[in-house]
Protein backbone atom coordinates (compact mmCIF):
# COMPACT_ATOMS: atom_id res chain seq x y z
CA UNK A 1 0.00 0.00 0.00
CA UNK A 2 1.27 3.49 -0.79
CA UNK A 3 0.43 6.64 1.16
CA UNK A 4 1.47 9.94 -0.37
CA UNK A 5 4.11 8.24 -2.46
CA UNK A 6 5.61 6.22 0.44
CA UNK A 7 5.21 2.46 0.56
CA UNK A 8 4.24 0.71 3.80
CA UNK A 9 7.67 -0.82 4.25
CA UNK A 10 9.14 2.66 4.53
CA UNK A 11 6.96 3.55 7.52
CA UNK A 12 8.84 2.90 10.76
CA UNK A 13 6.55 3.55 13.76
CA UNK A 14 8.11 4.02 17.19
CA UNK A 15 7.19 1.00 19.27
CA UNK A 16 6.71 1.36 23.04
CA UNK A 17 9.47 -0.13 25.18
CA UNK A 18 8.43 -3.48 26.62
CA UNK A 19 7.68 -3.41 30.36
CA UNK A 20 8.89 -6.65 31.96
CA UNK A 21 8.01 -5.72 35.56
CA UNK A 22 4.88 -7.89 35.76
CA UNK A 23 6.83 -10.86 34.46
CA UNK A 24 9.36 -10.27 37.21
CA UNK A 25 6.54 -10.20 39.78
CA UNK A 26 5.06 -13.44 38.46
CA UNK A 27 8.45 -15.13 38.73
CA UNK A 28 8.60 -14.29 42.45
CA UNK A 29 5.06 -15.21 43.55
CA UNK A 30 6.41 -18.36 45.20
CA UNK A 31 8.82 -16.24 47.25
CA UNK A 32 5.98 -13.95 48.30
CA UNK A 33 3.83 -16.87 49.46
CA UNK A 34 6.70 -18.39 51.45
CA UNK A 35 7.26 -15.02 53.15
CA UNK A 36 3.65 -14.99 54.34
CA UNK A 37 3.99 -18.55 55.69
CA UNK A 38 7.21 -17.65 57.52
CA UNK A 39 5.59 -14.67 59.25
CA UNK A 40 7.06 -11.48 60.66
CA UNK A 41 10.80 -11.48 61.31
CA UNK A 42 13.43 -8.82 61.94
CA UNK A 43 16.85 -9.12 60.34
CA UNK A 44 17.80 -12.29 58.44
CA UNK A 45 21.49 -12.99 58.97
CA UNK A 46 21.14 -16.33 57.15
CA UNK A 47 20.25 -14.52 53.91
CA UNK A 48 22.90 -14.82 51.20
CA UNK A 49 22.60 -11.07 50.63
CA UNK A 50 22.99 -10.11 54.29
CA UNK A 51 26.31 -8.25 53.85
CA UNK A 52 24.44 -5.56 51.87
CA UNK A 53 21.69 -5.28 54.51
CA UNK A 54 21.74 -3.20 57.68
CA UNK A 55 21.54 -4.40 61.25
CA UNK A 56 18.17 -2.73 61.89
CA UNK A 57 16.61 -3.70 58.55
CA UNK A 58 13.37 -5.71 58.65
CA UNK A 59 13.62 -8.63 56.23
CA UNK A 60 10.04 -9.93 56.43
CA UNK A 61 9.40 -8.94 52.82
CA UNK A 62 12.63 -9.63 51.00
CA UNK A 63 10.51 -9.52 47.84
CA UNK A 64 8.13 -6.57 48.07
CA UNK A 65 4.43 -7.56 47.75
CA UNK A 66 3.72 -4.14 46.19
CA UNK A 67 6.11 -4.68 43.28
CA UNK A 68 6.16 -2.81 40.95
CA UNK A 69 4.81 0.20 42.87
CA UNK A 70 6.23 2.65 40.28
CA UNK A 71 6.58 5.29 42.99
CA UNK A 72 9.44 7.55 41.77
CA UNK A 73 10.45 8.33 45.35
CA UNK A 74 11.08 4.63 46.02
CA UNK A 75 12.56 3.32 42.78
CA UNK A 76 13.05 3.77 39.06
CA UNK A 77 12.83 1.91 35.75
CA UNK A 78 16.03 0.33 34.46
CA UNK A 79 16.85 -1.63 31.32
CA UNK A 80 16.70 -5.39 31.77
CA UNK A 81 20.00 -7.05 30.85
CA UNK A 82 18.07 -10.22 30.03
CA UNK A 83 15.34 -8.89 27.72
CA UNK A 84 16.30 -5.31 26.94
CA UNK A 85 12.88 -4.14 28.15
CA UNK A 86 12.06 -1.88 31.07
CA UNK A 87 11.92 -3.37 34.54
CA UNK A 88 11.15 -1.66 37.85
CA UNK A 89 14.10 -1.48 40.24
CA UNK A 90 13.62 -0.75 43.95
CA UNK A 91 17.23 -1.54 44.85
CA UNK A 92 17.59 1.59 47.00
CA UNK A 93 14.16 1.40 48.68
CA UNK A 94 14.24 0.71 52.41
CA UNK A 95 10.68 1.81 53.19
CA UNK A 96 9.37 -1.76 53.09
CA UNK A 97 12.17 -2.80 55.46
CA UNK A 98 10.99 -0.61 58.34
CA UNK A 99 9.50 -2.56 61.27
CA UNK A 100 6.32 -0.49 61.36
CA UNK A 101 5.68 -0.69 57.61
CA UNK A 102 6.33 -4.44 57.42
CA UNK A 103 4.04 -5.11 60.40
CA UNK A 104 1.21 -3.02 58.94
CA UNK A 105 1.45 -4.71 55.56
CA UNK A 106 1.51 -8.18 57.10
CA UNK A 107 -1.62 -7.25 59.05
CA UNK A 108 -3.64 -6.09 56.03
CA UNK A 109 -2.31 -8.53 53.42
CA UNK A 110 -5.03 -10.67 51.81
CA UNK A 111 -4.45 -14.34 51.08
CA UNK A 112 -1.87 -14.77 48.35
CA UNK A 113 -2.99 -17.33 45.77
CA UNK A 114 -0.88 -19.19 43.20
CA UNK A 115 -1.13 -16.20 40.84
CA UNK A 116 -0.18 -13.67 43.51
CA UNK A 117 -2.06 -10.38 43.93
CA UNK A 118 -3.47 -8.50 40.97
CA UNK A 119 -2.16 -5.00 40.27
CA UNK A 120 -5.28 -3.29 41.65
CA UNK A 121 -4.88 -5.08 45.00
CA UNK A 122 -1.22 -4.05 45.19
CA UNK A 123 -2.12 -0.43 44.48
CA UNK A 124 -4.78 -0.48 47.22
CA UNK A 125 -2.26 -1.86 49.73
CA UNK A 126 0.24 0.83 48.77
CA UNK A 127 -2.36 3.59 49.24
CA UNK A 128 -3.27 2.23 52.67
CA UNK A 129 0.37 2.11 53.79
CA UNK A 130 1.04 5.62 52.49
CA UNK A 131 -1.71 6.93 54.75
CA UNK A 132 -0.32 5.14 57.81
CA UNK A 133 3.41 5.75 57.46
CA UNK A 134 5.14 8.96 56.43
CA UNK A 135 8.24 8.63 54.31
CA UNK A 136 9.58 12.18 54.46
CA UNK A 137 11.58 13.34 57.46
CA UNK A 138 11.07 16.80 58.90
CA UNK A 139 13.73 19.43 58.20
CA UNK A 140 16.83 19.37 60.40
CA UNK A 141 19.42 22.18 60.43
CA UNK A 142 22.99 21.36 61.43
CA UNK A 143 24.91 24.39 62.77
CA UNK A 144 28.57 24.92 63.57
CA UNK A 145 30.51 27.90 64.86
CA UNK A 146 33.45 27.69 62.44
CA UNK A 147 34.53 26.35 59.08
CA UNK A 148 35.91 22.85 59.49
CA UNK A 149 33.69 22.10 62.48
CA UNK A 150 32.42 18.95 60.78
CA UNK A 151 28.95 20.11 59.71
CA UNK A 152 29.13 18.56 56.24
CA UNK A 153 30.32 15.18 57.50
CA UNK A 154 27.67 15.21 60.22
CA UNK A 155 24.99 15.81 57.56
CA UNK A 156 26.42 12.96 55.47
CA UNK A 157 26.17 10.61 58.45
CA UNK A 158 22.61 11.72 59.21
CA UNK A 159 21.58 11.19 55.58
CA UNK A 160 22.81 7.59 55.68
CA UNK A 161 21.32 6.93 59.13
CA UNK A 162 17.87 8.18 58.10
CA UNK A 163 18.02 6.31 54.79
CA UNK A 164 18.87 3.10 56.64
CA UNK A 165 15.65 3.58 58.61
CA UNK A 166 13.59 3.71 55.42
CA UNK A 167 13.11 7.49 55.25
CA UNK A 168 13.33 9.54 52.07
CA UNK A 169 15.95 12.18 52.86
CA UNK A 170 18.00 14.66 50.85
CA UNK A 171 20.67 17.25 51.74
CA UNK A 172 20.19 20.95 50.94
CA UNK A 173 22.88 23.61 51.35
CA UNK A 174 24.40 26.59 49.58
CA UNK A 175 28.08 25.66 49.31
CA UNK A 176 31.16 27.42 48.00
CA UNK A 177 32.31 25.21 45.14
CA UNK A 178 34.92 27.34 43.39
CA UNK A 179 37.70 24.89 44.26
CA UNK A 180 35.88 21.60 44.74
CA UNK A 181 32.88 20.86 42.54
CA UNK A 182 31.49 18.13 40.29
CA UNK A 183 28.99 17.89 37.43
CA UNK A 184 25.73 15.95 37.69
CA UNK A 185 24.36 13.71 34.94
CA UNK A 186 22.22 16.68 33.81
CA UNK A 187 25.24 18.95 33.46
CA UNK A 188 24.62 20.89 36.69
CA UNK A 189 27.53 21.97 38.87
CA UNK A 190 27.27 21.15 42.56
CA UNK A 191 29.73 20.98 45.44
CA UNK A 192 31.44 17.63 45.86
CA UNK A 193 30.27 17.32 49.45
CA UNK A 194 26.64 17.61 48.28
CA UNK A 195 27.33 14.82 45.80
CA UNK A 196 28.69 12.69 48.64
CA UNK A 197 25.72 13.55 50.86
CA UNK A 198 23.28 12.67 48.08
CA UNK A 199 24.85 9.25 47.68
CA UNK A 200 24.71 8.70 51.43
CA UNK A 201 21.00 9.57 51.28
CA UNK A 202 20.42 7.16 48.38
CA UNK A 203 19.18 9.94 46.12
CA UNK A 204 20.37 11.25 42.75
CA UNK A 205 22.89 14.14 42.90
CA UNK A 206 21.17 17.17 41.34
CA UNK A 207 21.33 20.93 41.25
CA UNK A 208 18.38 21.46 43.60
CA UNK A 209 20.49 20.12 46.47
CA UNK A 210 23.05 22.90 46.06
CA UNK A 211 21.42 26.32 45.45
CA UNK A 212 23.43 29.45 44.58
CA UNK A 213 25.44 30.78 47.52
CA UNK A 214 25.14 34.51 48.26
CA UNK A 215 27.61 35.93 50.79
CA UNK A 216 26.63 39.41 52.03
CA UNK A 217 29.37 42.06 51.67
CA UNK A 218 28.37 45.26 53.38
CA UNK A 219 24.80 46.47 53.38
CA UNK A 220 23.97 46.49 49.68
CA UNK A 221 26.08 43.85 47.85
CA UNK A 222 26.65 40.11 47.94
CA UNK A 223 29.31 37.79 46.60
CA UNK A 224 27.93 34.99 44.38
152-181 confidence digits (pLDDT tens): 899 999 999 988 887 778 888 877 666 678
CA 224 to chain centre: 33
Give the pTM.
0.60
Backbone angles phi, psi at 115, to 5 degrees: -95, 5
Angstrom distances, CA of residue 221 to CA of 15, 137, 190 = 55, 35, 23
Structural domain ending residue among the three candidates 77, 98, 132: 132
Residue 10 lies in a domain: no
The C-alpha angle with vertex 219 and arms to 214 and 224, in degrees rounded to 5, equals: 20
Secondary structure letter of residue 26 according to DSSP: H
In whole angstroms, give the CA distance from residue 194 to residue 3.
55
Secondary structure letter of residue 168 according to DSSP: B
pLDDT for the residue 211: 74
Q: What is the mean pLDDT of residues 131-147?
A: 81
CB neighbour list of residue 107: distance below 8 Å, 6 or more residues apart: none
Q: With the CA atoms of 200, 206, 209 and 210 taken in that order, what torsion angle do they form, in degrees rounded to the nearest 10?
A: 120
pLDDT for the residue 200: 92
Q: Is the dihedral of CA 4, 7, 10, 14 positive or negative?
A: positive
Judge whether residue 43 has pLDDT over 80: no
Q: What is the mean pLDDT of residues 4-20?
A: 52
Residue 161 lies in a domain: yes
Residue 44 lies in a domain: yes
117/167 same-domain check: no
200/122 same-domain check: no
Residue 42 lies in a domain: yes
- What's the domain range around 184? 151-223
**Of 162 and 11, the one with more pLDDT:** 162
Residue 14 lies in a domain: no
- How many structural domains are present in the chain? 2
127/160 same-domain check: no
Q: Which of 107, 101, 28 is nearest to 68 (CA)?
A: 28
CB 189 within 8 A of CB 182: yes
pLDDT for the residue 177: 64
42/117 same-domain check: yes
Amino acid sequence: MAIGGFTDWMINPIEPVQNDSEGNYNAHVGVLRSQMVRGLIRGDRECANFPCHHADQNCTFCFCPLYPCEDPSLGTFVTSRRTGGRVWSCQNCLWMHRDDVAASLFEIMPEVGPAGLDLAARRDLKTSLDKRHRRRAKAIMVLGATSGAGKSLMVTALCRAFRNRGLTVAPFKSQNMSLNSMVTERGEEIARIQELQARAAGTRPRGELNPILLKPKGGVTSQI
